[in-house]
Amino acid sequence: MSIWTREELLQLISSWKAAYKAASSGQSYTIDGRTLTRQNVSEIRNQLSYLERQLDAISGNGGGLKRVTCRTVRQ
């Protein structure tokens, strides 16, 4: 069970994506009213990965592709 709603996660992902774009171009960025000027792209990537895993968990995706077993029935 996640502490986030789907809408909250989508909003956070959007904010962190904006931060990533800003950090990639050498600008400062703002998240939830806080302006950050130090660029730490790896931390932003970590946050995006965490949020995507949380979104997968509440969406029932379990983090990506699922293995499917198929059988052929011969008559």
Closest to 30 (Cα-Cα) out of 9, 14, 52, 50: 14
Residue 70: pLDDT band by 50, 70, 90 thresholds? low
Residue 70 domain-assigned (yes or no): no
pLDDT in tens, 16-60: 999 888 777 766 777 888 887 766 788 999 999 999 999 999 988
Cβ(15)–Cβ(36) below 8 Å: no
- Number of independent structural domains in the chain: 1
Residue 67 domain-assigned (yes or no): no
pLDDT computed for residue 9 by the predictor: 96
Distance CA 8, CA 28 (A): 23
pLDDT computed for residue 39 by the predictor: 64
Residue 10 domain-assigned (yes or no): yes
Helix (H, G, I), strand (E, B) or coil at 36: strand
Tokens of 72: 């052929």
Residue 27 domain-assigned (yes or no): yes
Residue 50 domain-assigned (yes or no): yes
The torsion angles phi and psi of 35, rounded to 5 degrees, stand at: -95, 125
pLDDT at 63 over 60: no
Residue 51 domain-assigned (yes or no): yes
Residue 73 domain-assigned (yes or no): no
pLDDT computed for residue 40 by the predictor: 79
Q: Which domain holds residue 21?
A: 6-59
Residue 66 domain-assigned (yes or no): no
